[in-house]
Every structure is written in structure tokens, then in C-alpha cells.
Amino acid sequence: MRSPVRQLVLLTFALVAVWGCAEEGDPSGGLDPNISEAPLPGDASGSEHAGAWTLELYYSSCTGVCSFDTILGVASVCDVGETATQIVEATQTDGSIRFEGNGLPSRYDGGVDASGDFDLLGVATQDGGNIEIRVRVQGAFDGDSLAGAARGRTMGTIDDQTINCRYDVEVTGTRG
């Protein structure tokens, strides 16, 4: 039997906001568990998009096995209509960009083009590596705002319960 503390930890990480995206027609949803490299740097120069960003996330779809039983009841990795706010710090060195925040994954790396288009990948594990979270986000900066689409996948096993959940998230944000 699991300890109540472990149950609470698992419930907490399952409810943390995550986000990501994929290319159309890709049967893995752009989130193949074997992919571990961030998207390539883009052709941007400078650090135009660096700074603190407040992101608003809206979960628009959830598919697969997205919930599991805990001593506190059923926990869900994704619920359609759920919203979350994330504050991230963006650092940019020419065409390479990184978002860091308190969500899971906590770091996203990728590229940004001179047009403002960006492509990021975040990867994290929980519960000693039994749970893997992969998130891809693609979007575009427009001055002090950004908009994008995201796709995430959480997969693994929690106390003999399998999770294999994919979710789509609408992402908007403002700098400052």
C-alpha cells in the first residue's frame, strides 16, 4: 500500500500544468518517447524575446488514459476546459531560446526565427522515472504578446496503473 505522502506527491505532479505541440500528420503526435533533442535554433539574432512572460493555458482536448486512482480519489493529468497560468523566464541568444518556469517540464529549449515563430520541447520525469512528461509548443511572438498551440503527453506507471495521456493546449502570453 502506498503512503499518503506519496499519494499526495503523485496527485500534485499530475495536476501541474504542462504544454506542447506537434506537426500535422505525425502519428506519434510529435511526441515520440525516443526524441530527446530540442528543435534546432532558428535564424533570429539578438535577444528580442527575452524577459518574463505570463502564459495562459487552456486545455482543449485530452485523449487516452488520463486519470488514476489515489487514496484521495481520482486524479487526472488533463481535463478539457481546465485553465492555468504559468510565469516563465525566456532567455534568447540569437536563434536559440529557452523558457524556464515552475511547471512540468520546468525547462523548454528550441529555436526562434526572425519572423518571431518559435518551436520548443520540454521533457521531465517524475516518481523515479516511472512517469515521463513530454511537451512541444509552437507559436509566434508579436511584440509583447505570443500565441501558440501545444501538445503534451504524460506516460508511465503509477502503482500498477498505466497512464498514457495526450493533450492539446492553447497558449497565449504577454511580456512583463
Which CATH number do you get for residue 114?
2.40.128.120
State the Cα–Cα distance between residues 74 and 17, nearest whole angstrom.
17
Of the candidates 47, 77, 49, the one whose C-alpha atom is nearest the C-alpha of residue 62 is 77
Of the candidates 171, 147, 174, 173, the one whose C-alpha atom is nearest the C-alpha of residue 60 is 171
State the Cα–Cα distance between residues 113 and 111, nearest whole angstrom.
7
Q: 8-63 pLDDT, tens per residue?
A: 333 333 333 333 333 444 544 555 555 668 899 999 999 999 999 999 999 999 99
How many separate domains does the chain show? Answer: 1
State the Cα–Cα distance between residues 146 and 99, nearest whole angstrom.
13
Least confident stretch, 27-41, 103-117, 153-167: 27-41
Residue 96 lies in domain? 4-32+39-175
pLDDT of residue 1: 40
pLDDT band of 128, cuts 50, 70, 90: very high
Query: Which strand (E) or helix (H) includes residue 144?
Result: none
